[in-house]
Amino acid sequence: MALKIKRVLISQPKPATEKSPYFDIAEKYNVIIDFRPFIKVEGLDAKEFRQQRINIQDYTAIVFTAKVAIDHFFSLCEEMRITMPETMKYFCISESVALYLQKYIVYRKRKIFFSTTGKMDGLAPSLVKHNKETFLVPVSDVHNDDMTNVLDDKKISYTKAIMYRTVSTEFTPEEIKQYDMLVFFSPLGVLSLFKNYPEFEQGEVAIGSFGATTAKGVRDANLRLDCEAPLPGVTSMTAALEAFIKENHKKK
């Protein structure tokens, strides 16, 4: 690649602490690293949610696959003046998601189960044990079927409820043209790029991605993937980015 990497766009929010490895990379290689998500999550309001004709109070258990799902679930409950009964059971994709419930409920007094693997299959034994419950599953308007495949496989009675949506952040082509490298963390980010800049041509712009589905999204968009993580020996996006920039600067 002929173009030296001088400015990188990371399609995520800016790290909360200055100790992030991204800042070390910027200083070490004298590059500018900007942070700006290509997508954002918006919650549905009560009026939009009611169009699905779902009564939250009909359910005895809830499956949470992300902290964002918890936020939007309880936001809707507050807007609709629904109080969760102490008998409600919560099934979470991981312990960290389960612990996040403390933001909204008295944790020790509730029936809470979580997957030890961080995946839905790790939650299956608990779901099967409580298969007489009626499960509500808060989801985004765009979601994969890994979660519901497990529920279907175990013959669990459930209802999917769309409680939030993923939308593109607005960019101008001129803003995108400032960068020598774009780094994506979701296939939706790649879709957002083309929504904002339909005529985007990669040329000498480097593309980085984190996660297998993101890498697939990059390739499906007929883009050249220059920097990928995780790979064997490269577990983080920052490690992959540093190796790529180091190699890129060596060629000059």
Rounded average pLDDT over 191-202: 94
Quick: pLDDT tens for 151-195.
899 999 999 999 999 888 999 999 999 999 999 999 999 999 999
Question: Hey, which residues does 206 pair with through a beta bridge?
Answer: 181
d(CA 221, CA 79): 39
Model confidence at 252, in pLDDT bands (50, 70, 90)?
Answer: low
pLDDT for 225 equals 97
Whether the model clears a pTM of 0.85, i.e. scores above it, the answer is no
Contact by Cβ (8 Å): 196, 176: yes
The structure tokens 């577990």 sit at 235
pLDDT for 142 equals 79
Q: What is residue 130's three-state secondary structure?
A: coil
pLDDT over 90 (residue 20)? yes
pLDDT over 50 (residue 1)? no
Token code pair at residue 158: 């459930």
Contact by Cβ (8 Å): 90, 60: no
Domain with CATH 3.40.50.10090 in the chain: 7-38+169-250, 42-166
Phi/psi region, residue 236 (left: phi>0; alpha: psi -120 to 50; beta: rest), is beta
pLDDT over 50 (residue 3)? yes
Q: Which CATH class, in words, describes the domain spanning 7-38+169-250?
A: alpha beta
Token code pair at residue 31: 């590059």
Percent of the chain residues topping a pLDDT of 90:
81
Q: Which CATH class, in words, describes the domain spanning 42-166?
A: alpha beta
Phi/psi region, residue 107 (left: phi>0; alpha: psi -120 to 50; beta: rest), is alpha
Question: Hey, which residues does 40 pair with through a beta bridge?
Answer: 167
pLDDT for 28 equals 95
Contact by Cβ (8 Å): 190, 221: yes
d(CA 123, CA 229): 27
pLDDT for 148 equals 83
